[in-house]
Amino acid sequence: MGTHQPLALKYRPRRFSQVVGQDAAVAVLRGMVTADKIANLIIIHGPTGCGKTTLARILARYCNCQSKGGVDKCDGCASCKAFRKDRHPDIHERDGGTFTGIDDVRALQQVVALQPRYQRKIYIMDECHALSKAAWTASLKMFEEPPADVTFVLCTTDVAKLPAAIQGRAIKLALNPLNDRQLIDLIRAVAKHEGLKLPKDAAEKVAYFSQGHPRNALNALERVLLALQGGKQLDLEKEAAKIAESTLGLAPWQVVDKYVAAVLSGNANNALKLASAVETRERKKDESDEEFHLRLKDERHWLDSHVFLAQICEAVRMHLCGVMVPSMVSGRFSFAVRNNAEAMKRYWTAEKLTELLALFVGAHERIKNYVVPEYDTLVLVTAQALQLQARKVKP
């Protein structure tokens, strides 16, 4: 059997032209290369999994490519070959969490002083916000006045934690999550390369689960493809979306809609029943293991509470939009908002809906950070939401 390579690595962009959804940042970095004006200090910031380190690595490749036509026309120079094998002598990556002391800074200063083997040394500091105060203080001079042939690229998910003195001396590039269309196109293109024509509704499930992050999308897609290629003959158009849903732990949207409707109308029985849902399935005598795995019984579903709460947050947010800016409600939420119109008019104001959304966002964060058990949190926030629902609307 061959060596497995995760999709997130296999399809990691290696050229600027392959980067999806970060046009502004790509334009600046490409301009640096074209004009031969590479900054000595660059900060790339944005959410996890959006391509910060990838862009830094691509810049390093472009800076050192030996081809006269540049990387886009390179047919395999020594520098690009070393880059593809992750053995480039002038590209160095460090994790900010392990680079914390003055000794680390001193060791780096000694390496920085050495001449590059090709054209430019690139030092990529991932999660640089984790550097200690002592490390920042010791490295300030190095970042301010590096050798002319050295570039530091600082990558972070929390740019506010970087010292103002560092930020003021750097070219700052912000990356954003991909929108649904970009992410769905990426997911379907990768699936096609992997030999499977993934239906759009299945790709939408993967995109929703990924929350705009391409790395998360490819990791999730890998799980879905493995489930779809498990050996059973499937009707992809009919079954792929359900399998994606089950594989990723997404609750069916009709379950989310039913839960939100129960909360908005004050139906405690239905709301708490769904909040208490646990993994449970019954096997028929004539069912295969795969059929057993996919079939859900009654109202009881396998729930990833973290994902389920994210879905609830989005649904409540759209109901809030329905009160404040109705034109913002679109797609699948239009029906749910219309269906709950009577309960909304009777029990909910924009102020109460804002409180409700804050309740669910807080519960989502608690589960995300493993502060309390998942199911206890879901039941607790449901009870709090029902109490809020019962509170009389001020005249």
Closest alpha carbon to 329 in 314, 319, 342, 341: 319
Domain architecture of the chain: domains with CATH: 7-174 (3.40.50.300), 180-248 (1.10.8), 253-390 (1.20.272.10)
The Cα–Cα gap between 102 and 42 comes to 22
State the pLDDT at residue 285.
43
State the pLDDT at residue 184.
93
State the pLDDT at residue 16.
92
154 forms bridges with which residues in the sheet? 43, 125
The Cα–Cα gap between 218 and 205 comes to 12
3-state secondary structure of 118: coil
Assess contact for 294 and 340: CB atoms under 8 A: no
State the pLDDT at residue 279.
39
172 forms bridges with which residues in the sheet? 43
Residues of the chain with pLDDT under 70: 1-2, 75, 100-101, 231-233, 277-304, 370-375, 393-395
Q: Evaluate if pTM is beyond 0.95.
A: no
Sheet holding 171-174, edge to edge: 91-95, 121-126, 150-156, 41-45, 171-174
State the pLDDT at residue 299.
37
